[in-house]
Amino acid sequence: MANPQVKSATRAIEILEYFKLAQQPRSMSQMASDLGYPQSSTTVMLKTLVNLGYLNFDRSTRDYFPTPKLTALGDWIPRVMFGSGQMIDALNDLHAATGEGVFLGTKNDIYLQYTRTKESIHALRFHIDEGFMRPVTLSAAGWVLLSTLPEDKIDNIVRRANIATPNPAERTDTKTIMERIAEIRKNGYAYAQDVPLEGGSTLALRLPAELQGQPVALALGGVTDRFKKNFTDYKKALFAAADALKQDTEFDLPVRISL
């Protein structure tokens, strides 16, 4: 972040993401305080976003708020990515059957990216922001995506993902990942406890469809105690969601999808 242009670009994006959480007008001083930015550079950044048409400035209240131009910037993406919406239907079906947090995951270089998420309805739950990324080695859904690759590419990605993982305790050797992948290829799904979150569990499998030519993982995650009580039902719901999508595609899965 030493490059001032890179820092400015990052801050511009962070300001726009800030409004997704706030969902109401905010003053310059509020944003500078919440984001930890100097007020001088925050003022310049906000003025630039106003001039570009992405923020509206109300001089009477001195508050800022996004304009429809920001919405229009990406309103075409879900249509292009998800097409008829069958993958979203699978996500919604899994959520309705389990009430757990569910997501569609894709590989973004050495990371798993949570492409579409739906939050758990349970009081005790974990929250993951849509679009968030973590090293692909630190998630059951990431292992599912790695299982679609040849061994030499897996080794390369694991090595680079370890470099990008700051906590040495969270780094994983290729041998361990390959053992997990062998289980995924045998069973058709992945299960993880305390990865990536302590006290949490995740079930994931590969969907019979692609996003922009990339494999997609469908997963549900939640508190381990609840998963242990409902493991069989959760697994059935996961496979059922994938099977419903499979009926509408001609995509051949490289892993077995059966119970």
- What is the dihedral angle through the alpha carbons of 231, 232, 233, 238, rounded to the nearest 10 degrees? 80
pLDDT value of residue 84: 59
pLDDT value of residue 83: 61
Pick the CATH number of 77-246 from 3.40.50.11270, 3.40.50.2020, 3.30.70.100, 3.30.450.40: 3.30.450.40
113: its two tokens: 């990216």
Selection from 207, 259, 206 nearest residue 235 by Cα = 259
pLDDT value of residue 249: 53
Residue type, 158: V
Angle between helices 39-51 and 28-35 (to 10 degrees): 120
pLDDT value of residue 245: 84
User: Dihedral sign, CA of 230, 206, 220, 89?
Assistant: negative
Instruction: Please provide the distance, in angstroms rounded to a whole number, between the alpha carbons at the two ends of the chain.
Output: 48
Neighbours of 174 (CB within 10 A): 17
Residue ranges, the chain, pLDDT below 70: 1-5, 78-84, 247-259
Q: Cα(143)–Cα(139) distance, rounded to whole angstroms?
A: 6
In CATH terms, are 4-73 and 77-246 the same topology? Answer: no
pLDDT value of residue 7: 82
pLDDT value of residue 250: 47
Q: Where are the domains of the chain?
A: 4-73, 77-246
Q: How far is CA 154 from the centre of its chain?
A: 20
CATH classification (class only), 4-73: mainly alpha
Q: Cα(132)–Cα(105) distance, rounded to whole angstroms?
A: 10
What does pTM read for this prediction? 0.75
